[in-house]
C-alpha cells in the first residue's frame, strides 16, 4: 500500500487542479481524498486519516507537500536504438531516462536493425520492455526494411502487439503505397505516423534553409520539404478516414494545413516536440550539431505557430522524438553528424517553462497533451487519475529548478546542457511501484518547510 498526502492533483479530464491525498493498493488508485477547505488551507476527511494510518503500518507514506501529482507522462515518439545500435541507447537505459523524466508509457519507433517489420523483432522489443518497470510499447514498420516499396504484414504485426505503424526517419514517397497503408491501418484501428520531409527538396538535412544554413555555408533543408508531404498525406487521410499522425511539426504552414484538415473532418493528429516549441534556428548556430535534427529548427514565427497549435488543440500531442547518438557521432562536422537530440529527461521542464509559466497552457492542458491525448491516440491505459485506474503517476515540484548536466540516458546529445530548468521530478510511480525517486541526498536538501514556502 502506498499513500501520498498533501499533494496537488492535476486532473486533465476534469480540467482542474486541487489539493488531495491519493491512496494506492494492488497497483491501482484505491482512493482520492480532496481536501475539505476550512479557510486554513484545508483538511482531509476521516477516511483519509484511516488510510494514512494503515499505510504507515503496512506500506509507505509519501509527503507530497509542495509537489504536484499528475498522471504518468506518455511519449509516443521515442528511439531506444535496440536492437542494433545499443551503443547509443538500449531499452534498459532508455526506460531509466523515461522514468527519471516522469514517463510511464513509451511508444518506440521501429527504425532499429533489424527493423521492426517482423514478429520476432517486435516480440524481442516488447519482451525486453516488460522487464523495465514502465510500459514499453512499440510501433511496427509500414514497409519492409523501411525501403518504401513493400508493405509489412500489418495484420500479423498488429496481432503480435504493434501499437501503430511508422517508418519514422524515412519519408514514404510512393503515394499509392501510402494510401494502401492508411487503409490497412484504418481496418486494424491503429494509428499510422509519418515523417514528412521530401528528400528531393533537401540538400543538407537537419539545418533550416535560412539563417542557419547561411552561417554554415550550406543549402540546408527548406520548409517546403515538410509542407509538400504534409499536404499530400492530409489529403489521403481525409479520403481514407485513417488515424494519421503528422510527426514533429516544424513549419507554421504545416500547423495551418493540419487545422484545415481537422475542420474538414479528417482523423489527423499533430505532434510537437519540446525542442520545436522552445528553440529556433539560432540554436543551431550557437550549439552546432547538438541542435541539429530532422525536421530542423526553423524561425520564431514557426515556433509561435506550434505553440498556438498546442493552445487551440490543432496539435494534440507533445512527443520528444528522443533520439540518442554517441558523442563521437555528434562531434563530426555539421553536414556529417546525425540528426536528433535526447529529450525524455527535459520534456516536462520545457513544457513548464515554455508553455505553463508563459501563460500559453494551463496545468491540465499541459498534462492532457503529454499524457491523456497520447494515451487515447494509441489505446494505452493511462492519462487519468481516477479510482480503479492503474497507479501510473508522476510527482514533481513545479518551481524548483535543476541544472541539466548528467543523464540516465546512455547518450547526452542535448542542446539544453548547462541550463537551469524548472520542474523537478521527485517520484515516478508505475503500476503502484516507485520506479524513480529523486536521490535521497538531494531530496534532503529541500525540507518539507522549504518546499511549502516555495
Question: Which residue is associated with the grid cell 540546408?
Answer: 220
- 151 and 178 in contact (C-beta within 8 Å)? no
Cell numbers at residue 96, please?
A: 531509466
What is the rounded distance in angstroms from the CA atom of residue 426 to the CA atom of residue 4? 12
Catalytic entry in 117, 302, 321, 392? 321
**Strands across the sheet containing 192-194:** 165-166, 192-194, 244-246, 268-272, 317-318
What is the rounded distance in angstroms from the CA atom of residue 372 to the CA atom of residue 368? 5
Cell numbers at residue 266, please?
A: 479528417
Contacting residues for 366 by C-beta, under 8 A, at least 6 apart? 318, 351, 352, 355, 356
Q: Are strands 244-246 and 192-194 parallel, antiparallel or unpaired?
A: parallel
139 prior amide bond cis, ω within 30: no
321 is annotated as an active-site residue: yes
What is the rounded distance in angstroms from the CA atom of residue 257 to the CA atom of residue 122? 34
What is the rounded distance in angstroms from the CA atom of residue 282 to the CA atom of residue 284? 5
Contacting residues for 232 by C-beta, under 8 A, at least 6 apart? 175, 178
The angle that helices 252-263 and 300-312 make with each other, rounded to 10 degrees, is 30
Residues tagged active-site: 321
Amino acid at each position: 500500500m502506498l499513500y501520498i498526502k498533501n499533494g496537488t492533483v492535476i486532473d486533465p479530464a476534469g480540467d482542474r487542479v486541487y489539493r488531495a491525498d491519493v491512496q494506492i493498493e494492488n497497483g491501482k488508485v484505491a482512493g482520492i481524498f480532496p481536501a475539505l477547505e476550512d479557510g486554513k488551507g484545508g483538511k482531509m476527511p476521516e477516511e483519509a486519516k484511516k488510510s494514512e494510518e494503515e499505510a504507515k503500518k503496512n506500506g509507505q507514506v509519501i509527503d507530497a507537500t509542495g509537489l504536484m501529482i499528475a498522471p504518468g507522462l506518455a511519449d509516443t515518439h521515442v528511439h531506444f536504438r535496440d536492437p542494433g545500435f545499443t551503443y547509443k541507447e538500449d531499452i534498459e537505459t532508455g526506460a531509466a531516462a523515461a522514468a527519471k523524466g516522469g514517463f510511464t508509457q513509451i511508444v518506440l519507433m521501429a527504425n532499429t536493425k533489424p527493423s521492426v517489420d517482423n514478429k520476432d523483432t517486435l516480440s524481442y522489443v516488447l519482451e525486453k520492455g516488460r522487464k523495465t518497470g514502465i510500459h514499453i510499447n512499440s510501433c511496427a514498420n509500414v514497409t519492409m526494411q523501411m525501403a518504401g516499396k513493400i508493405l509489412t504484414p500489418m495484420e500479423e504485426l498488429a496481432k503480435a502487439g504493434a501499437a501503430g505503424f511508422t517508418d519514422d526517419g524515412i519519408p514514404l514517397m510512393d503515394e499509392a503505397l501510402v494510401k494502401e497503408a492508411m487503409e490497412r491501418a484504418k481496418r486494424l484501428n491503429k494509428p499510422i505516423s509519418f515523417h514528412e520531409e521530401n528528400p528531393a527538396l533537401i540538400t543538407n538535412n537537419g539545418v533550416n534553409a535560412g539563417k542557419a544554413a547561411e552561417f554554415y555555408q550550406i543549402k540546408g533543408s527548406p520548409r517546403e520539404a515538410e509542407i509538400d508531404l504534409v499536404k499530400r498525406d492530409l489529403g489521403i487521410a481525409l479520403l481514407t478516414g485513417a488515424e494519421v499522425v503528422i510527426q514533429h511539426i516544424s513549419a507554421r504552414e504545416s500547423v495551418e494545413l493540419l487545422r484545415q484538415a481537422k475542420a474538414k473532418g479528417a482523423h489527423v493528429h499533430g505532434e510537437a516536440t519540446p525542442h520545436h516549441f522552445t528553440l529556433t534556428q539560432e540554436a543551431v548556430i550557437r550549439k552546432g550539431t547538438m541542435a541539429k535534427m530532422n525536421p530542423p529548427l526553423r524561425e520564431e514565427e514557426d515556433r509561435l505557430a506550434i505553440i498556438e497549435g498546442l493552445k487551440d488543440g490543432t496539435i494534440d500531442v507533445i512527443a520528444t522524438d528522443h533520439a540518442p547518438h554517441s558523442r563521437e557521432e555528434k562531434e563530426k562536422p555539421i553536414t556529417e553528424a546525425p540528426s536528433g537530440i535526447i529529450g525524455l529527461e527535459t520534456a516536462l521542464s520545457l513544457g513548464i517553462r515554455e508553455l505553463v509559466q508563459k501563460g500559453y497552457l494551463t496545468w491540465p492542458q499541459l498534462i492532457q497533451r503529454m499524457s491523456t491525448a497520447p494515451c487515447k491516440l494509441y489505446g494505452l491505459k493511462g492519462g487519468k487519475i481516477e479510482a480503479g485506474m492503474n497507479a501510473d503517476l508522476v510527482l514533481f515540484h513545479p518551481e524548483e529548478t535543476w541544472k541539466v548536466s548528467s543523464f540516465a540516458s546512455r547518450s547526452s546529445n542535448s542542446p539544453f546542457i548547462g541550463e537551469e530548468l524548472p520542474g523537478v521530478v521527485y517520484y515516478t510511480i508505475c503500476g503502484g511501484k516507485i520506479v524513480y525517486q529523486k536521490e535521497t541526498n538531494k531530496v534532503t536538501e529541500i525540507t518539507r518547510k522549504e518546499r511549502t514556502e516555495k
